[in-house]
Amino acid sequence: MEGRWITEGPEQTQKLGQKLADCLYPGAVVALTGDLGSGKTCLIQGICRGLGVTDPVTSPAFVIINEYQGRFPVFHFDLYRIRDTEELYQLGCEEYFYGCGVCLIEWAEKAELLLPDDCIRISLRWKAENKREIVVKDRSSPGRSRWRKDIL
């Protein structure tokens, strides 16, 4: 399944994230790609809010992963500073990617070789100063996918 949205400003991006959270399930891996400042962290803040996370959600750029508790565990990765797949592998990220929480991965292209085939892919792209195009592609098996028609 695929969905496409244009958001105007951080509030709309976060609200979309909250709606997308309703479609996630334990074990879901969400791979986010987009240029610096395209809204990846903002969308993740909304997803986390939608998953019931009450802690402040910030980009883990220097620590690589933040862990939150919502309806189920949430693991927020920022791979911006990762040099290669080997470094990521040494950190044990695959245990998270194939675990029981939701993984939200910024700069996911750096983990491409380690990502599950059925991960949910979200690309964010600048359209204008406060406009972002957000495209979601869900490759989950039909039994696992929870995308609703009112969201997509």
Report whether pLDDT(147) > 60: no
Tens digit of each residue's pLDDT (9 = 90 or more) over 22-41: 999 999 999 999 999 899 99
Q: What is the CB neighbour count within 10 angstroms for residue 144?
A: 12
- Alpha-carbon span 39 to 44, nearest angstrom: 9
- Is the per-residue pLDDT at 143 higher than 80? no
Q: Is the pLDDT of residue 132 over 80?
A: yes
> Alpha-carbon dihedral of residues 124, 125, 129, 130, nearest 10 degrees?
-30
- The per-residue pLDDT of the chain, averaged, comes to 89
C-alpha–C-alpha distance, residues 43 and 18, integer Å: 8
Domains and CATH numbers, the chain: 2-135 (3.40.50.300)
